[in-house]
Amino acid sequence: MRRSMLFLTLALYGGIAVLGGCGGSGGAPALPPTSAPTGPSALKLTMAGGPVALPSAGGYSGTLQLPTSNAPNGTTLTLAAATAVPVGAPTPQALHRSQVLKPHVVRSPQATLAPSVLYVVTLQVSQNVTLGSVPSFSIQLPAGLSTVNKAFFIAIFAGTSAQASLMANIGPATISGSTLTFTGSATPLTLDAGVTYLLELYDVATVATPAPSPLPSSSPSASPSASPSASPTASPTAAPAPAAGTLYALSQGSAYTFGAFAPGANGNVAPVASFTASIQSPTGIAVDATGRAYVVAYSVSGTQILSYAYGASGSAAPSTTLTTDASGWGLAIDPTSGDLVATDANNNIIEYFAPGANGSASPVKTISGTNTGLNMPYQVAFDGSKNIYVVNGNGSGSVVEYAAGASGNATPIATIAGNATGLDGPEALAVDSTGRIYVGNSATNTITVYPPGSTGNAVPSAVIQGSSYDFLIDQALIAVDASNDLYVFGRSNEVEVFAPVTGSPQSPIRTITGSSTGLAYADGVAIVP
């Protein structure tokens, strides 16, 4: 499904609900929950919101917690439920794997573990309504349904056609026995009369955490041996920082592997450093001047940003684990402060974390608000003037640019959007030192290129077609170096390098490929500044 839909599409964040009823400023009392209906039911709504029982189907039932709204007097919400989606309707399985669903889809080398729709509720409102926030839900699972190694989400679609946009995704759910609890977000939702909305409960298989190997027990009969005299062991020497321009490639073969390649690497060359990491569904990577690698990774407990020091080897444990919201996506390093910059696709926020942030650290600043133009922000990048760029994935998409040092409810200094731009399901982003912008479009599998200073309904100066150069756009698969060369992670286990694209695209000037590279399924590229 094209990302002209709405997501996060994993991205499925959000909920749906509607309020309506009494028109007084105070509204009527909150609507009490009703017993679970088994067929279509029309409920009168109140502006104050409140719990509404969801129809039961196949042993599933639940409650929708409606927020306050501007529901006109007499507004009703009609609900019906089933255990299968209508024929031709959108589903999480049909969404592009790199869209909103991507953070919550756990892949293995053998197969992609696709989401399974379990329970579907259709919603209709009699009059247009804007909810003050994304609703929360409580879902009761049928008896005997296992929740082991599963994560649960709710996807909200604005329509029943395959092209319907994904309005929001909620999850992962908190699981308590057979009860799933979904917490909404502060994002307002508008429901239009005449539209049938789909609320789809789905699950995704997750990777079980392996049990730690037991420690060898000491032998009870062994006598302690005398400690031999020994010279003090020298402290290990930290690995020197990699050279500027070193390429990091994250790929997935039998495990997720970070490979670092020397500047100018070409052909069937081995990485100068390599390690594997136990992560799930990465959506963004970044690397700082010391060679420390960062990755956004999804886990059942939410989104984590993991870091690994240069010189890590084998199956490396992260040096830091930053726990953030459940909708993290893209990453970059602020060239001025060294802060880690992360996007929150669900809540339309750019978050800055101090270097070395660990645990549940709070951001040192954010960019968010109605003036920002953020609309499902995915990847983020900086140009040579330290201006910050963000690609929005909602609808046909857009690119917004903020002045260096922007914070709070900042207004973009430039916005690329419109029919002439060629943007369609934009996801990957790179900006060179001159301000030339490269955007990877997942719906058309293209990289559209825009000259420095582009804004408005800008026509791209070049379009690089993935079918011509063997790449498949997905997430953080493009990057630029200090020479403004463009790196693209190809789908045939290679990294292609292009000279700065100022017009019609040309053939790659270098290609890193072959058995010695260790490259496998593409997940991201980043360049040491």
Q: What is the pLDDT of residues 405-459, one digit of tens each?
A: 999 999 999 999 999 999 998 989 999 999 999 999 988 889 999 999 999 999 9
Task: Give the pLDDT band (50/70/90) at residue 89.
Answer: confident
- Report d(CA 95, CA 204) in Å as an integer: 14
Cβ–Cβ under 8 Å, residues 119 and 199:
no
- Answer yes or no: is pLDDT of 354 > 70: yes
Q: Cβ distance 346 to 14 under 8 Å?
A: yes
Across 92-101, 156-165, 367-376, which has the greatest mean pLDDT? Answer: 367-376
pLDDT score of 255 more than 90: no
**pLDDT band with cut points at 50, 70 and 90 for residue 315:** very high
Report the candidate in 136, 200, 146 with the shortest Cα–Cα distance to residue 178: 146
Q: Token pair 């791209």 is at which residue?
A: 460
- Given this model, what pLDDT does residue 40 score? 65
Comparing C-alpha atoms, which of 372, 375, 404 is closest to residue 388?
A: 404
Is the per-residue pLDDT at 211 higher than 50? no
Q: Is the pLDDT of residue 497 over 70?
A: yes
SS3 of residue 469 by DSSP: helix
Note if the bond before 172 is cis, omega within 30 degrees: yes
Which secondary structure element, helix H or strand E, spans residue 77, and what is its range?
Answer: strand 76-82
Residue 16 has pLDDT above 80, yes or no: no
DSSP 136-172: EEEEEPPTT---TTEEEEEEEEESSSTT-EEEEEE-P
Residue 366 has pLDDT above 80, yes or no: yes
Q: Choose among 12, 34, 60: nearest CA to 178.
A: 60
In DSSP terms, 184 is beta-bridged to: none
pLDDT band (50, 70, 90) for residue 492: confident
What share of the chain in percent tops pLDDT 90? 53
Higher pLDDT, 22 or 233: 233
% of the chain at pLDDT higher than 70: 79
pLDDT surpassing 70 at residue 292 = yes
CATH 2.120.10.30 for the 247-527 domain, yes or no? yes
Q: Is the pLDDT reported for residue 233 higher than 60?
A: no
- pTM for the predicted model, two decimal places: 0.64
Contact by Cβ (8 Å): 20, 123: no
C-beta separation of 461 from 451 below 8 A: yes
Q: What is the pLDDT of residue 37?
A: 45
Q: Which of 25, 34, 133, 139 is nearest to 77 (CA)?
A: 34
- Say whether pLDDT at 209 is over 80: no
Q: Which amino acid is located at 475 in the chain?
A: Q
* pLDDT band, residue 7 (cuts 50/70/90): very low
Q: What does the alpha-carbon distance between residue 285 and residue 332 come to, in Å, rounded to a whole number? A: 7
User: Domain residue spans in the chain?
Assistant: 41-205, 247-527
- In the numeric block, the tokens 């910059």 are attached to 341
Q: Which residues lie closer than 8 Å to 328 by C-beta, 6 or more apart?
A: 103, 283, 284, 296, 303, 305, 342, 343, 344, 345
